[in-house]
Structure 1
Amino acid sequence: MNRALIVIDVQNEYIDGSLRVTYPPLGVSVPNILAAMQAATGAHVPIVIVQHVAPESSPIFATGSHGGALLASVAEHPRSLLVDKTEDSAFDGTVLGAWLAAEEVDTITIAGYMTQNCDEATARDAVQRGFGVELLSDATGTLDFANEAGSISAQALHESVLVVLQSGFAAVTTTAEWVDALQTGAALSPSDIFASTAGARTRQTPAAASQETR
């Protein structure tokens, strides 16, 4: 296993801007992001920092704005690569895929924001490109959403995405568990759809299934 830590969009927009992350609390996710970066440096795991960029007229992540800037503690940490992106996936329209291939990386570990947006998009894209994926559950996060389709709390949104990703797209783990894996060389693995739906199949008796198909 040859890992790289991908730190996605840890920008002021999510810290004190228009998209303040609320779950897990910033007091949890930010220290864990920094802890993961420190552990990666100690284990000689390359760190890629990803920064979302938008036009100067954009209400969020505007080029040159405070919100669009990286959190200072992240920006100041040693890194192997800085990637600017304009889309959700850190692979889309960037050099990330080619750089990972050149470095012979086969597994990426995702930290940063937001869980259901750029984190999930990058994880799914990575799987399609043949990479193993790990995601740090307490070094990622999101906020409440509401629109014409309904509403969902930050906690429910975060946790539901983690369950889906663990069902076959990514090994979802805590930062502490990931740091232990770095030290021992252990591989972390996702589950699969069949195992993830075992409870649903158990609850669905033959009689109930028969009623549902009528």
Structure 2
Amino acid sequence: MADALLIIDMQTGLYDGPEKPFERERVLDTINQLIQRARAAHAPIFVARHTGPAGSPIAAGSPFWQLWPALDVDAARDQLFDKTRPSCFLGTDLAQQLHAAQVKQLVIAGMKTQFCIDTTCRVAVELGFGVVLPEDAHTCMDTPALKAEAIIEHHNATLAGAFGQRVKAAEVSF
């Protein structure tokens, strides 16, 4: 089964905004380790940027829209794409690109757990892709209702089984 790494919304406006993501430095390091393992295995890497409308803080090309500089992404070889919805598939050609690359399974990492990670895991399964969710490679911010740590644990538990295989990032191989 051919695997690909999908990194979601690791952008300046989310990673370094006024509300900092839970364990952001550890999660960034974990994602960079996944990138290195994917590269070593010649697995394709897809990188989504959430894109807001013109004039919004995360409009295409704006400072907050940019990928976080310490994310080890190489625009010359990795597949960067923009999305406007929580799903990485809606309104993008991601599914077509994955099929063209003969990808059968996605390793999904990034931000934010309860929105784009959750939605993309669910839609990927509906589209016939296998999903591997490294439980320690996605993050979000605290909300008034729940702390980020609880949101992450809840989604790890909810998505495991029906929507993907829950693993530690160190266990992921491409």
In the TM superposition, residue 75 of structure 1 has moved relative to its aligned partner by 6.4
- Conserved 8 A contact 2:32-2:72: no
Give the one of 29, 53, 75 matched to 1:31: 29
Where do 1:20-59 residues align within 5 Å? Answer: 20-22=20-22, 25-58=23-56
Where do 1:47-86 residues align within 5 Å? Answer: 47-58=45-56, 60-74=57-71, 76-77=73-74, 79-86=77-84
- TM-score for the superposition, normalised by structure 1: 0.76
**Contiguous gaps of at least 5 residues in structure 2:** none
- TM-score for the superposition, normalised by structure 2: 0.93
Q: Percent identity?
A: 35
The CA distance in 2 between the partners of 1:117 and 1:18, in whole Å, is 18
2:122 is the counterpart of 1:128:
no
Amino acid at match of 2:149: Q
- Conserved 8 A contact 2:35-2:72: no
- Structure 1 residue matching 2:63: 3-state secondary structure: coil
**Structure-1 residue corresponding to 2:13:** 13
In the TM superposition, residue 20 of structure 1 has moved relative to its aligned partner by 2.3
**Structure-1 residue corresponding to 2:91:** 93
- Conserved 8 A contact 1:54-1:62: yes
**Structure-1 residue corresponding to 2:162:** 168
**Contiguous gaps of at least 5 residues in structure 1:** 183-214
- Structure 1 residue matching 2:64: 3-state secondary structure: coil
- Conserved 8 A contact 2:105-2:129: yes
In the TM superposition, residue 19 of structure 1 has moved relative to its aligned partner by 4.5
**Structure-2 residue corresponding to 1:190:** none
The CA distance in 2 between the partners of 1:76 and 1:176, in whole Å, is 19
**Structure-2 residue corresponding to 1:158:** 152
Residues 1:79 and 1:136: Cα distance change in structure 2 (over 3 Å): farther
The CA distance in 1 between the partners of 2:3 and 2:150, in whole Å, is 29
In the TM superposition, residue 80 of structure 1 has moved relative to its aligned partner by 3.4
In the TM superposition, residue 116 of structure 1 has moved relative to its aligned partner by 1.2
In the TM superposition, residue 161 of structure 1 has moved relative to its aligned partner by 0.6
Relative to its length, the structure with more helix (as a share) is 1
- Conserved 8 A contact 1:56-1:64: no
The CA distance in 1 between the partners of 2:121 and 2:108, in whole Å, is 8
- Conserved 8 A contact 2:5-2:35: yes
- Conserved 8 A contact 1:29-1:139: yes
- Structure 1 residue matching 2:114: 3-state secondary structure: helix
2:100 is the counterpart of 1:106:
no
Amino acid at match of 1:85: K
- Conserved 8 A contact 1:48-1:79: no
The CA distance in 2 between the partners of 1:168 and 1:19, in whole Å, is 31
